[in-house]
Amino acid sequence: MGSLGGHLLPGSFFIIFAIWWGFVTAVRFVQSRSNRKRPFKSSVTMPCIFLPCATLRTAPVESYLKAILALIALVIEILTSYSISYLTIDELNRLNNMANMESSGGEHGHKRAVETAQKLYKHYSFALGNFQHVTMYSAFIIGAIVEILVHHKFDLPKRIEYAMGVLAFSVEAFLFAFHLHGKEVVDVYVHLFLVYAIFGCIICAGLECYNPHNVLFVYGRILFTLLQGTWFFQVGFMLYPPTDNPAYHWNLKDHGNIMIVTICYCWHVMLIVIGLIGQLWFVKKVMGGARYSILKCIDDDCLRTERNEMKFLTLDSSDSEDNSFEETVQKHQKTKSSDSKFAITDDNNV
């Protein structure tokens, strides 16, 4: 992660998933306000509501994506963590001096020392920072696997998927909290602000586990996850600018830049809040029409009811394709009630 790309990669993951969480949460919130019988309830993973069939919409697609993407990032971190080098001249001189000290001064010993000094050895060095990132990705992979097991009804403790999410964020916070040694003052502060965002995710995810019916807890998790992503971008461009122009290079030793970094962090938070409100408005005003009927049924229980009722519904040829699912159900209920009245009349006649 010691590069611009190394910061943009996890930042993109956090931004994409947080935006998707915000969209599905907005849909659920709008549904709960329009239908009191369907109260709002959050979930760790959000259903992919634009997939073509109910089975795919209820499948843990997000969990599979998180596991696959985190695994790819993990492999990249491992492959870029080591480097091969050879012994330098200083190393050869040190080896030659040690050989001279250990030899008895004879010609044979001196010849062996020279031969040893002239030989080059491969040296493998590993970047410990990369292994911190490998550990972080591993925690999210384990959390995604648990989410998949929960979806397939494995006998696991209730809401363990929330606990694994808290654990993954806790591992990330712990690693970045001890990722500050030997850095410049501005570098320390930008990573410290990232730790604050991660702790925000931990707190909100814990509250969401306690009460999944409170939409503010869900939006708190979304806000701080999105803040992590945007701040990864900020840190990447601050520490590793993609240009040699001095105007884009920060003085990491200047304490005055700490005030600028703090202001940037606050603006990240405020702009994210404005964006989430705009996303909620978009879902409510623009996507709340009848043409987006797919948004009316996105959760497991609702989709199961849809599938079960569709098995017993017989659509007449007179029904137009524009009829919604709710209208078809109402027709079926009216037909059923009329049949029951007819049956009662026949019994009376008998």
What does the pLDDT look like over 288-342, one tens digit per residue?
654 444 455 556 555 454 445 444 444 443 444 344 445 554 555 555 455 444 4
Domain presence at residue 209: yes
Domain presence at residue 299: no
pLDDT confidence of residue 123:
55
- Same domain for 90 and 191: no
- Same domain for 93 and 184: no
pLDDT confidence of residue 6:
78
Residue 142 confidence (pLDDT) above 90 = yes
- Same domain for 49 and 20: yes
pLDDT confidence of residue 217:
94
pLDDT in tens, 159-173: 899 999 999 999 999
Give the domain extent around 117.
84-125
Share of the chain above pLDDT 90, in %: 33
Share of the chain above pLDDT 70, in %: 67
Domain presence at residue 158: yes
Lowest mean pLDDT: which of 69-73, 128-132, 226-230?
128-132
Q: 85: part of which helix (H) or strand (E)?
A: strand 82-86
pLDDT in tens, 99-130: 555 444 444 444 444 444 455 655 556 677 77
pLDDT in tens, 46-71: 888 777 777 777 788 899 999 999 99
Give the mean pLDDT of 80-98. 62
- Same domain for 17 and 57: yes
Give the mean pLDDT of 29-35. 81
User: What DSSP line would sit under 259-278, residue for residue?
Assistant: HHHHHHHHHHHHHHHHHHHH
Contact (Cβ atoms closer than 8 angstroms) between residue 134 and residue 74:
yes
Residue 219 confidence (pLDDT) above 90 = yes
Query: Could you tell me if residue 153 is left (phi over 0), alpha (psi between -120 and 50 degrees) or otherwise beta?
Result: left
Domain presence at residue 302: no
- Same domain for 330 and 215: no
Which carries the bigger pLDDT value, residue 111 or residue 13? 13
This prediction's pTM: 0.73
Give the mean pLDDT of 179-204. 89
Q: 123: part of which helix (H) or strand (E)?
A: strand 122-126
pLDDT confidence of residue 324:
46
300's CB contacts (< 8 A; 6+ apart) are 47, 58
- Same domain for 235 and 188: yes
Contacts for 3-9: CB closer than 8 Å, 24+ residues apart: 3/240, 4/236, 4/237, 4/240, 4/241, 4/242, 5/236, 6/133, 6/236, 7/232, 7/233, 7/235, 7/236, 7/239, 7/240, 8/232, 8/233, 8/236, 9/73, 9/76
Contact (Cβ atoms closer than 8 angstroms) between residue 89 and residue 79:
no
- Same domain for 18 and 133: yes
Query: How many folded domains does the chain comprise?
Result: 3
Residue 200 confidence (pLDDT) above 90 = yes
